[in-house]
Amino acid sequence: MLTHIRPVAALAGALVLAASLTACGGSSVASDEKVVTVYSADGLKGEAGDGWYDKVFADFEKQTGIKVEYVEGGSGEMVQRALREKSNTQADVLVTLPPFIQQAGSKGLLQAYAPQGSDRVDGADKAPDGTWTSIVNNYFGFIHNKKELPTAPKSWEELLDARYKDRLQYSTPGVAGDGTAVLIKAMHDFGGREPAMEYLKKLQANNVGPSSSTSKLAPKVDKGELLVANGDVQMNFAQSKSMPNLGIWFPAKGDGKPTTFALPYAAGLVNKAPHAENGRKLLDFLLSEGAQREVSAVGGGFPARKDVKPTDANALALGKLLEGVEVFEPDWADIDENLTAYVDAWKSATGS
C-alpha cells in the first residue's frame, strides 16, 4: 500500500518565451492590461499543446479576456530570472518545484495571497505566510526505455552496471527541480550527504553529463538514446501518451522498498507584479474545482485540492503506479538552508 504523506511544498528546461515577449523584450507586457505573465517550471505544458496549462490557460483567456504570456525553464532558472528582475519585475505568477518555491519566498520574490479554493488545499501544501500554494501535486521518479529495458531496474546499485555507461542521464542539481530531487532522494535513501555523494561519484562513470532540462531527457529515453533518466510522475505520465516507450519506476536502496517524495508545482503571486490583479485571477482559476478536476484527466497529475477526487482513467492509473512505493517527507527547511552546500558537495563529488 502507498503510505501517503502530504507534501510540504514546486523541473528543468530550456527557456521558452512567448513570441510577443521575445520580440518586445517584455515591454509590451507592461502596457497591456489584459495580460498575465507566468514564469513556470516545465512539465505542465504539453509537447503538442495538449497539456494542463494549454487547456486551463485557454479556458482562462476565454472566460476573462486576459491573455497568458508564458515563460518556461528549470525551477532554479525561473527563480534566478525573477531575482535578476527584482528592480523591474516582469512576472506576475511564479510556479516552481520545491525547494525553489521556498527559496523564492525567502528571497522576497513573492507576496501573500490565498487563492480561492486554497482553503481546500492541505496545510502542508502551502506556505504558512500565504506566499505560495500547490496547484498540482506530483512525485519524483525515474524513467526507463520499455523496449530496450523491458524490466525496470529495482535499485540504485543496478545503475552502476557497465550496461548503463553513456545510456544514463539526470538533470543538473541546483538548476532543475528534478535534478535537485536526485540529491534529495539519494541523501534519504543512502542515509546522509556523505554516502549519497560517494554513490553519485560512482554513478558519474555512467552519466552522460549535465542537462538543464529534465523534460528533454524523456524523448532521448523514448528513442533509446538513453536507457534511464530522472523525471517526475506527472510530466513523464503525460509524455508517455506520445512517447510509448517510457516506463516510470522508483529506485530502492539495495533490496529495500522503492521510495519517492512529493514534488508539487507550487504557485505564488510575484512581489510588485505588474499585473497583480490578473495574477490573482489566474491563481483563483488554477485552483478552481473545474481546473483541478482536469489535473489528472488532461495533465496526468494529482489535484492539489483535497476535496477533488477524480476517477478518470489517468487518476486510477496514477494511483496504481504508486502502489507499494514508500513516500517520505523531506526536511524542506534544512534543504532550503543548505541547498548551496549540497549542490557544491555534488559538484565536488562528480567533478561537474
Tens of pLDDT, residue by residue over 225-276, are 999 999 999 999 999 999 999 999 999 999 999 999 999 999 999 999 999 9
Residue-wise pLDDT tens digits, 134-167: 999 999 999 999 999 999 999 999 999 999 999 9
* Residue 351 pLDDT level (bands cut at 50, 70, 90): very high
The answer to whether 257 and 325 have CB atoms below 8 angstroms apart is: yes
* Residue 6 pLDDT level (bands cut at 50, 70, 90): very low
Alpha-carbon dihedral 187, 215, 341, 193, rounded to 10 degrees = 10
Residue-wise pLDDT tens digits, 290-301: 999 999 999 999
Q: Which positions ≥6 away from 272 have C-beta within 8 Å?
A: 89, 111
Output the pLDDT for position 1.
37
Task: Provide long-range contacts, Cβ within 8 A and 24+ apart, for 120-123.
Answer: 120/287, 120/305, 120/306, 120/307, 120/308, 121/287, 121/304, 121/305, 121/306, 122/6, 122/306
In the predicted model, is pLDDT for residue 61 greater than 60? Answer: yes
Phi, psi of 52 (to 5 degrees): -60, -45
Phi, psi of 68 (to 5 degrees): -95, 120
The answer to whether 47 and 299 have CB atoms below 8 angstroms apart is: no
Distance of alpha carbon 260 from alpha carbon 255, whole angstroms: 15
* Residue 44 pLDDT level (bands cut at 50, 70, 90): very high
Output the pLDDT for position 273.
98
The answer to whether 183 and 342 have CB atoms below 8 angstroms apart is: yes
Percentage above 90 pLDDT, the chain: 85
- What is the DSSP-derived secondary structure letter of residue 232? E
The answer to whether 228 and 221 have CB atoms below 8 angstroms apart is: yes
Distance of alpha carbon 344 from alpha carbon 333, whole angstroms: 18
Q: Considering the chain, what is the average pLDDT of its residues?
A: 91
